[in-house]
Structure 1
Amino acid sequence: MNYHRVAHLNRQDVRIDEITIHSFEMGVYLVEALFDSRKGFIVDDKDRPQQFHSVEEVKQALTECMVRQAFLVHQSAYDEMCGGPEKVDNTLRLAVHFSNKGE
């Protein structure tokens, strides 16, 4: 399984192809990065997915590198009601702008 660390990504010479910020309940955000043809989650020093508490915190963690495109993704569980219609894909995917140096 691929993974990345903020310290390895947040450098001026790094060009990240795509960032996906996964939004979960209780204000937890996990970040998946496509860099150097490897897609993987950003992990902490103990190799656990690093938790962020806002999109702004993700942006602040990656201020030095170049991010080509980024998306915030959220899936709602509120369509899982008893007797309701079959579950449909209700994924919300929004573009997020990163202020990149050298733009």
Structure 2
Amino acid sequence: MNLHQLNTEARAGHVDELNLIAIEGGDYLIEARVKGHAHPLSDTRGERMRVRSVEDARERLKGIPMLSMHLVHWSVQDEMCGMSSHPEEDLKVPISQRSAW
């Protein structure tokens, strides 16, 4: 899904939420959840859109209608020795789509 498609789906009320997913190296991916399915956003070349920060994501999404947005960090328990018996829980924190500055 590209930004134009996201805008169309958001205006139609089909987007459940946006997730800003932290990945290794300090980058983030943006995914739109539409009717329970994940749709990673793609850039103009058709590749997964990577953003450098929450503010970078907000800048790219500024023309999109306001949606529920979350910052997601995957569970680190799978990387820790001896933690396999604990249930994995991702950290999912609500954030504003618009800057508080």
Q: TM-score range by the shorter chain?
A: 0.7 to 0.9
2:3 corresponds to which residue? Answer: 6
Q: Are residues 5 and 77 of structure 1, via their aligned partners in 2, closer, same or farther at CA, if it must alter by over 3 Å?
A: same
**Per-residue deviation, 1:76:** 4.1
What's the counterpart of residue 24 of structure 2? 25
Of 22-31 and 39-48, more deviation after overlay is shown by 39-48
Structure 1 or 2: more strand by fraction: 1
Counterpart of 1:46, as a letter, is: R
How far residue 30 of structure 1 moved from its aligned partner, in angstroms, is 0.5
The alpha carbon displacement at 1:56 in A equals 1.0
Instruction: Compute the displacement of 1:78 (Å).
Output: 5.8
The answer for the alignment partner of 2:74 in structure 1 is 75
SS of 1:56's partner is helix
The RMSD of aligned alpha carbons is 2.6
Q: C-alpha distance in 2, partners of 1:32/1:76? A: 17
TM-score, normalised with respect to structure 2:
0.73
From the superposition, tell whether residues 68 and 77 of structure 1 become closer, same or farther in structure 2 (CA, over 3 Å).
same
Task: Return structure 1 stretches of 4+ with deviation > 4 angstroms.
Answer: none
Identity over the aligned pairs, expressed in percent?
27
CA contact (8 A) 2:22 2:73 kept: yes
Structure 1: give runs of 5+ residues left out of the alignment.
none
Q: Deviations over 1:48-80 (max 9, x none)?
A: 211111111111111122132111110243653
Q: Describe the shift of the 1:65–1:80 C-alpha distance in structure 2 as closer, same or farther (beyond 3 A).
A: closer
Following TM superposition, by how much is the alpha carbon of 1:45 offset from its aligned partner in structure 2, in angstroms?
2.7
C-alpha deviation, 1:88, in angstroms: 3.1
Cα distance in 1 for residues equivalent to 2:87 and 2:39: 26
Extract unaligned runs of 5+ from structure 2: none
